Amino acid sequence: MAVTDARVNIKVAPNKMRAFADYSPPMEGGLSLTADDVMKALDAMNVSFGIMQDAIDKISRSEGPITNLLIAEGISPKTGENARLETLIDIAASGKAKQREDGSVDFHDLGEIRSAEADQPLYRRIPPTAGQPGCDVLGKTIPGTIGRDIKLLTGRGTKIDSLDPNLVRAAVEGEVLIKKGILEISEVHSVNGDIDFSTGNIRFKGSVKINGSVKSGFQVIGDGIIEIKGNVEDAVVIGGHDVIIHGGFVGSGQGSVKAKQDVYVKFIENQHIEAERDIIINGEAYHANLQAGRSILAKGPKSLIVGGKCEAKYSVEALTFGSVACTPTSIKIGTDPKLTEKIAAVDAEIIKTEESLKKLEQSVVFLYRQKIDNKNVLPPEKAALLGKLEQAKATLPDVLETLRKEQSALKQTKDDMEKAYAVAGKNVFPKVQVYVGNQRVTVEDILGPSRFKLVESEIVRLSN
């Protein structure tokens, strides 16, 4: 048999990530392989990375053949982290009844509505990262794979930051909503049913739309328009704009509706309404307490005001005041208890400011005379005082001008209020009291269409 030296054959996988060795031992006194011989074989195949010393040692010590021995292995590239969204606002709804200090639970209060301020950061896109690079057995670097990207979507009421394309902010102030997985900001908080124990009280910085009714004992408070499709019972409704009640406002007298602007209601009984502008009733008002900053208007073919108190600066109108039962009814127009106080306060402030200005002028003149007498020089402390006095003196005329404009506006309001009127388009019944300014008249007979107004400090009735 012929002498045969030991041999090693190196095979590189097609993807170059692994190398294998086939080893044939020496025959009939042939030469064995050393570790260096194996390394030379690897080098001949350009295998330079991931070489396994244990495999080389195994070959150099083996007395028998070896097939497909893994001798080198590369490192696979890694995939980076996928892009993700980082939420910057709490979007978890409370929905839990709040515990009072005494340990009892208030089931009317289920927590705040999730809301955001205008321009508030909402969420950020964290870009995908590049994966760790790998290397094949030939020593060639294999780039890592970038993680999966996501598109930054903006919902209604949101916007992408002008300086950071990965940051989304609130474009408006409102409620935080998630619709089809996309965050939105809504300026209107909508309730599909009633305001009751299932919803708790509503407090929202924007407008509120309720498709049901507001049950007794609950509150609805919003900074915008509040629209209620159903009725309002003995509840509290406070709107930062208009309050619109498509149904009635009826209860035991524990209910209250307040609006920064107008209140619209179909009918009212026993309850209290306060509007800084107008109250518009599309029907009847029974035993209600109504206060309007401008006018109260009951309209429609059955409009009437029976019992209770109606107070408005400029006008009260309805088809009927009072009832055949001679129900005591109070109609007040041209009155504003706070207006006289405001005018008096502004008058007093004008006098005070004029006196301050006069004293300042005298002090400035006095210091200037001292300066002239002292060769145009004042001690440091008096020079500093003169500077402060001159600065104060310069600002007071503007203060006076502002106060006089306010005074003029208040007096114009008072003049307008003296033109106030109350109109009953059909009837006025006995025990209706009409106040105009500081004057009062009590109706003792059934009257037809009537207009009440102040003429030369007396209330007169004109037939329409």
User: In this predicted model, what pLDDT tens digit does every residue of 132-172 receive, in sequence order?
Assistant: 999 999 999 999 999 999 988 888 999 999 999 999 999 98
| 53-61 helix and 35-44 helix, angle to the nearest 10 degrees | 120
pLDDT of residue 422: 94
pTM greater than the 0.85 cutoff: no
The answer to whether residues 436 and 453 touch, using CB atoms and an 8 Å cutoff, is yes
Q: Locate 47 and state its tokens.
A: 């295998």
Q: What is the pLDDT of residue 28?
A: 80
User: By the 8 A CB rule, do 259 and 241 touch?
Assistant: yes
Parallel, antiparallel, or unpaired for β 315-321 and 295-298?
parallel
pLDDT given for residue 21 in this prediction? 94
State mean pLDDT over 335-355: 81
Give the range among 200-209, 263-272, 366-375, 433-442 with minimum mean pLDDT. 366-375
Average pLDDT, the chain: 88
Q: Work out the average pLDDT over 79-106.
A: 68
**295 exposure class (CB count in 10 Å sphere: 0-12, 13-18, 19+):** buried
3-state SS, residue 1: coil
Q: Is the per-residue pLDDT at 63 higher than 90?
A: no
Angle at 13 (CA atoms; ends 10, 17), nearest 5 degrees: 105
The model's confidence at residue 104, banded by pLDDT at 50, 70 and 90, is very low
Residue 242 pLDDT > 50, yes or no?
yes
Rounded to a whole number of angstroms, the distance between the first and last alpha carbons of the chain is 141
Q: β-strands 115-116, 105-106: how paired?
A: unpaired
For residue range 141-150, what is the model confidence (pLDDT) as tens digits?
999 999 999 9
Q: How large is the average pLDDT for residues 240-265? A: 96
What are the Cα distances from residue 159, in Å, to 84, 152, 180, 321? 18, 11, 18, 54
Residue 81: strand, helix, or coil: coil
pLDDT at residue 107 is higher than 50: no
Domain positions in the chain are 7-73, 84-129+146-186, 191-337, 338-417
Q: Tokens standing for 284?
A: 């009847």
What is the pLDDT confidence band of residue 384, given thresholds at 50, 70 and 90?
confident
- Which percentage of the chain shows pLDDT scores above 70? 94
Q: Is 214 exposed, middle or buried (0-12, 13-18, 19+ CB in 10 A)?
A: buried
Long-range contacts, stretch 193-199, CB < 8 angstroms, 24+ apart: 194/230, 195/220, 195/235, 197/107, 197/108, 199/110
Number of helical H runs and strand E runs in the chain? 4, 35
Q: Is the pLDDT of residue 79 over 80?
A: yes
Give per-residue pLDDT as tens, 286-334: 999 999 999 999 998 889 999 999 999 889 999 999 999 999 999 999 8
Cβ atoms within 10 Å, residue 156: 15
| DSSP code string of 379-434 | -HHHHHHHHHHHHHHHHHHHHHHHHHHHHHHHHHHHHHHTT-EEEEEEEE-TTEEE
**More confident of the two residues 277 and 365:** 277
CA distances from 211 to 156, 232, 374, 400, 416 (A): 22, 12, 81, 51, 39
CB 271 within 8 A of CB 216: no
Residue 359 is predicted with a pLDDT of: 84
Q: Mean pLDDT across the stretch 230-250?
A: 96
User: What residues pair up with 264 in beta bridges, in sequence order?
Assistant: 244, 280
> What pLDDT, on a 0 to 100 scale, did the predictor assign at position 458?
85
Residue 103 is predicted with a pLDDT of 47
- Residue 217's pLDDT is 93
Q: With bands split at pLDDT 50, 70 and 90, how would you rate the model's confidence at 350?
A: confident
